[in-house]
Amino acid sequence: MPGERTFRPSVEATAITLAAGLLAAALAPTAAHALGESTRFAVRSVLYDGGDPRPRESAPRRLGWEVRKRTSIDVHPDPGGARLDDPAIFDNPFLYWSGDEAFDPLSEAELAGLRRFVRFGGFVLIDDASPAQSGFDRSIRRELGRAFAGRPLRPLANTHTVFRSFYLLTRPEGRVRGPEQLSAIEVGDRVAVLYSRHDLGGAWARDNLGSWEHPVAPGGDEQRERAIRLGVNIVMYALCLDYKDDQVHAPFIMRRRGGGP
């Protein structure tokens, strides 16, 4: 495909990373012994009626794997799923809500659970696995309208902390290049619901043998890497919020973005 580039990590970057890893071996953190499963981060899927709540079944686990590999976050290896009316959602404040077709309206109990989850600090990542179709999008907008009347989804600027919470990114991308911006519902000064129409899970999904399950277009492996980085950034944002907006980070980030000394 014209214009498509194959992702090839720069030799320099790889060398630096490997060298840093080797040098740091002596200084590596202690093998941490977690205090229990509930202290770990988990990419738990939202289960619902009418439609496939897990169109990219391996995606949550693969995102967790990438987060664990790339960051210091301790991740639960098998996050599972829960319905919005299941009190278990309050045990782990991150939910991954995906689908590829229209689904049934949520029950009042599910809506109440969603409202309470968001109000008390939970984070919901919504991922449209079939952005070319409108079924899932219509259903999601309908349910968000029911749950958060008066708080519509709004475009999220690409300068938001989500795009610099770990990696420096310029726009959202997934299996498809998709819209220029993510959409979000904010509660107070935090993003509580983040909606992507880029099929992020399609870019993350990998079978047990390690092969990517879906091709990424138009950017190929580079775009896939950026999609993974966005996933990492979203997890990092859910856990650190606007940490990267703290004054101490500003000069470093500006310099790396080419906007400062």
Partner 1 sequence: MGGVDSAFSLGIPGGWPVAAGLALALGALAALGVARLRSEPKPGRRRLLAALRLGTAALAWVVAAQPTWRTPEYEESEGRLAVLVDRSRSMSLPRQGDARRARAEALLGRWAEDSGRAVAVYTFGDALAPAELSTLAQGIDARADESRLGASLARLLAEEDELGAVVVISDGADRSGFAIEGIETDGVRIHAVATAEDALRDDAVAEVSADPIGFLRRSAEVRVTVRSLGGPGGPIPVTLRRGDEVEREVVADVPPDGEAEVRIQFTPRQLGRAVYRVSIPRSTDDAVPENNERAFLVRVTRDKLRVLLVAGQPSWDQRFLRAFLKRDPATDLISFFILRNTTDMTMAGPDELALIPFPTDELFNEHLGSFDLVVFQNFEYGPYQMASYLPRIRDYVVRGGSFAMIGGPLSFHSGGYPDTPIAEILPVELPPSSAAPSSVVAEGDFAPRIVAGMEHHPLLELVPGPARNAEAWSRLADLSGINVVTRTRPGTATLLEHPSVTLAGGAPHPVLVLGTAGEGRTLALTTDTTWRWGITTGGETGDASAYERFWDRAIRWLSRDPTLEPARLTTDRERYGPGSSARVDATLRDARYAPYAEQGVAIVLDDASGQELDRREVETDRDGRVSTQLTVPGRPGAYRVRARLGARDEPIAEEWLVVEAGGDELADPRPDLARLEGLAARSGGTFVARPEDSPELSAFDTSRRRSLGTRERAPFTGPLGFGLVVGLFAVEWLLRRRWGHR
Q: Shortest gap between Cβ of 197 and partner 1 (angstroms)? A: 25
Q: Does 47 bind partner 1 (CB under 8 A)?
A: no
Q: Which of residues 125-144 bind partner 1 (CB under 8 A)?
A: none
Contacts of 209 (CB under 8 A, 6+ apart): none
- CA 242, CA 225: separation in Å to the nearest integer? 23
- CA 89, CA 140: separation in Å to the nearest integer? 19
CB 84 within 8 A of CB 106: yes
Q: Shortest gap between Cβ of 11 and partner 1 (angstroms)? A: 11
Q: Does 6 bind partner 1 (CB under 8 A)?
A: no
Q: Does 260 bind partner 1 (CB under 8 A)?
A: no
Quick one: DSSP state of residue 197? Answer: S
x/- site string to partner 1, residues 65 to 84, per CB under 8 A?
----xxxxxx----------
Instruction: Considering only the C-alpha atoms of the chain, give the largest distance between any 2 of them, rounded to a whole number of Å.
Output: 55
Could you tell me which stretch among 7-15, 53-61, 130-138, 205-213 binds partner 1 (CB under 8 A)? 7-15
CB 136 within 8 A of CB 126: no
Q: Return the number of the residue (132 or 254) whose C-beta is nearest partner 1.
A: 254
Q: Does 32 bind partner 1 (CB under 8 A)?
A: yes
- CA 247, CA 254: separation in Å to the nearest integer? 11
Q: What count of residues does the chain have? A: 261
64 beta partners: none
Q: Shortest gap between Cβ of 135 and partner 1 (angstroms)? A: 30
- Residues interacting with partner 1, by CB under 8 A? 9-10, 12-13, 16-17, 20-21, 23-25, 27-39, 41, 69-74, 87, 89-93, 113, 116-117, 119-122, 164-168, 188, 190, 225, 229, 236, 238-244, 246, 248-249, 252-253, 256
